[in-house]
Structure 1
Amino acid sequence: MQLYLPIAEVSVSLFLLLGLGVMVGILSGMFGVGGGFLITPLLFFLGIPPAVAVATGANQIVASSVSAVLAHLRRKTVDLKMGTVLLVGGLGGSGVGVWLFNYLKEAGQVDLLVRLCYVVFLGIIGGLMLIESLRALLNAQKGKRGKRKSHGWVHGLPFKMRFRASGLYISAIPPLLVGAAVGVLAAIMGVGGGFIMVPAMIYLLGMPTKVVVGTSLFQIIFVTAFTTIMHAVTTQTVDIFLALALICGGVVGAQIGTALGSRLKAEQLRILLALLVCAVCVKLGLDLVIEPTELYVISQEGAPE
């Protein structure tokens, strides 16, 4: 069953879009990521223009994140105070990101920028995740526990706040900067930023893993919602039919992912996610350098050959 998308101006299988939403929703619930780092490149592969994929993909991230956060709130694994500080930084960063997105769109360079950002960030994050996950898996098999620093440079910064749910007493500056960076990425790449935020919350802020996933999703909801509204108002690139199809699948998938994430081994799941991130990065990179099968040449009518 083909669904015509008026803003994207293409026809795509409805069942394919629903399945895509379910798959990304499962990842959202399992890992605390919005899933935009995966759904936006996959929309590229389906022929959706990058500008539409970025703006519309954020809708699905909001829906799947809300669905997953509700499950985490029931388990009391969300640090609302930390999430609020991250959110303040995220809203500021997303405003800057939307401005930069519009500037590059007017210059005609936004499609290339989005694809290059994905190749760079997915390559770095995927590689680091894979190395860390393999090391954790080997340590687990040997019966070793990973070393964790109790204090670092983060603990010496001013403007300290106490985050009781996370058991932390640290400066508010690092969470604000992490949130701002994720906000910029949300606007330019159409991602929730969880694939950067989750590692930063664990290794930079020192948050316990049990509250990281829910807190990350809490912040993602508001940043991506704000980003979606900004894109809808300024660029008119949000395709409502595409968004609804992805949302329906994402809400269901998030509940499944939350249940699976509480049962499966974290090390094995992180390796699978890292391999998936690297695979998408390689595919996007090849698309940038390999000559397309169909070439379009624009020539002036009546011009001499």
Structure 2
Amino acid sequence: MQLYLPIAEVSVNLILLLGVGTIVGILSGMFGVGGGFLITPLLFFMGIPPAVAVATGANQIVASSVSGVMAHLKRRTVDLKMGTVLLAGGLVGSALGVWLFNYLKEQGQVDLLVRLAYVIFLGIIGGLMFFESLRALRRSKSGARPKRRAHVWVHGLPFKMRFRASGLYISAIPPLLVGASVGVLAAIMGVGGGFIMVPAMIYLLGMPTKVVVGTSLFQIIFVTGFTTVLHATTTRTVDIVLALALILGGVVGAQIGATLGSRLKAEQLRILLASLVLAVCFKLALDLLLTPDELFVIEQTS
């Protein structure tokens, strides 16, 4: 069954869209990521224009993240205080990101920027996560106790706050900066930023893995929601028909993912996420290097 998308101006298979939404929802519930790092490239592969894929992908992330965070709230694995600090930085970053997105759109460079940003960020984050997760798996198999986390420069910063759910007493500056960085990425790449936020929360802020997933989803809801509103009112690239189809699958998938994630060890979750990130990065890099099917595209500008 073909579904016509009025803003994207293409027809796509409805069953395929529902399946993509469900898969991304499962990832959201399992890993604490909005799933934008996967859904936006998948929309590229289906022929959706990058500008529409970015804005509409952010819309779908809101729904799947709400569904996922509800499941984690029941398990009390959400640090609301940490999530609020991350959110404060995220709102500022998303406003800056939308401004930058609009500027590049006017220059006609936004499509290339989005694809290159995905390849660079996914490659770096995926590689770091993969090798660290392998080391963690080896330690767990050998029975060696993990090294105690050393105090680094982050712990010496001022404006310290106590985050009881995470068992932390650290400066509010690093969470604000992490949130702002994720906000910029949400606007430019159409992602919730979970694929960067989750590693940053674990390795930079030192949060326990059990509360990282739910806290990440909590912050993602508001940042991607704010980003969607900004895109809808400024760039007008949000396709509501596409968003609704993706949301239907995403909400169901997030509940399934939260259940699956609770049955896996932290090291297994991280290595699965890293493998997925690297696979998407490889596919996008390959598409940039290969000769496109259409060498020329005619675009009408106002």
What TM-score range do you get, normalising by the shorter chain? over 0.9
Structure 1 residue 265: Cα displacement: 2.8
> In the alignment, does 2:147 pair up with 1:147?
yes
Structure 1 residue 254: Cα displacement: 0.3
Task: Write the distance in 2 (CA, Å) between the matches of 1:184 and 1:99.
Answer: 10
Alignment: residue pair count: 298
Task: Write the distance in 2 (CA, Å) between the matches of 1:297 and 1:273.
Answer: 35
Partner of 1:128: 128
What whole-Å deviation, never above 9, does each CA across 1:133-181 have from its counterpart, x for those lacking one? 1111111111123224142211111111111111111111000000000
> In the alignment, does 2:259 pair up with 1:272?
no
Partner of 1:15: 15
Partner of 1:108: 108
Aligned ranges for residues 137-286 of structure 1 at < 5 Å?
137-286=137-286
Counterpart of 1:290, as a letter, is: L
Task: Write the distance in 2 (CA, Å) between the matches of 1:269 and 1:77.
Answer: 16
Task: Write the distance in 2 (CA, Å) between the matches of 1:234 and 1:281.
Answer: 29
Task: Write the distance in 1 (CA, Å) between the matches of 2:264 and 2:173.
Answer: 34
Structure 1 residue 294: Cα displacement: 3.0
Structure 1 residue 227: Cα displacement: 0.2
Aligned-pair RMSD on alpha carbons?
1.1
Distance 1:202 1:297, change over 3 A: closer
Distance 1:61 1:297, change over 3 A: closer
Task: Write the distance in 2 (CA, Å) between the matches of 1:266 and 1:164.
Answer: 21
Instruction: Report the TM-score, using the length of structure 2 for normalisation.
Output: 0.96
Aligned-partner SS, 2:158: coil
Q: Give the conservation status (yes or no) of the 8 Å contact 2:22–2:254.
A: yes
Task: Write the distance in 2 (CA, Å) between the matches of 1:273 and 1:201.
Answer: 15
Task: Write the distance in 2 (CA, Å) between the matches of 1:245 and 1:84.
Answer: 30
Aligned-partner SS, 1:187: helix
> In the alignment, does 2:18 pair up with 1:26?
no
Aligned-partner SS, 1:155: helix
Q: Bigger CA drift: 77-86 or 280-289?
A: 280-289
Aligned ranges for residues 68-107 of structure 1 at < 5 Å?
68-107=68-107
Instruction: Report the TM-score, using the length of structure 1 for normalisation.
Output: 0.95
Task: Write the distance in 2 (CA, Å) between the matches of 1:141 and 1:228.
Answer: 44
Aligned-partner SS, 1:4: strand
Structure 1 residue 271: Cα displacement: 2.2
What whole-Å deviation, never above 9, does each CA across 1:228-282 have from its counterpart, x for those lacking one? 0000000000000100010000000000000000012332332222222111111
Task: Write the distance in 1 (CA, Å) between the matches of 2:214 and 2:141.
Answer: 28
Q: Give the conservation status (yes or no) of the 8 Å contact 2:209–2:266.
A: no
- The percentage of counterpart residues that share the same residue type is 84
Partner of 1:47: 47
What whole-Å deviation, never above 9, does each CA across 1:11-67 have from its counterpart, x for those lacking one? 110010000001010000000001000000010000000000000001111000000
Task: Write the distance in 1 (CA, Å) between the matches of 2:290 and 2:199.
Answer: 32
Unaligned runs of 5+ in 2: none
Task: Write the distance in 2 (CA, Å) between the matches of 1:75 and 1:269.
Answer: 18
Task: Write the distance in 1 (CA, Å) between the matches of 2:92 and 2:297.
Answer: 41
Q: Bigger CA drift: 174-183 or 281-290?
A: 281-290
Counterpart of 2:157, as a letter, is: L
Task: Write the distance in 1 (CA, Å) between the matches of 2:129 and 2:115.
Answer: 21
Q: Bigger CA drift: 112-121 or 144-153?
A: 144-153
Task: Write the distance in 1 (CA, Å) between the matches of 2:35 and 2:297.
Answer: 36
Counterpart of 1:94, as a letter, is: S
What whole-Å deviation, never above 9, does each CA across 1:201-241 have from its counterpart, x for those lacking one? 11111111111111110000000000000000000000001
Task: Write the distance in 2 (CA, Å) between the matches of 1:203 and 1:145.
Answer: 17
Aligned-partner SS, 1:188: helix
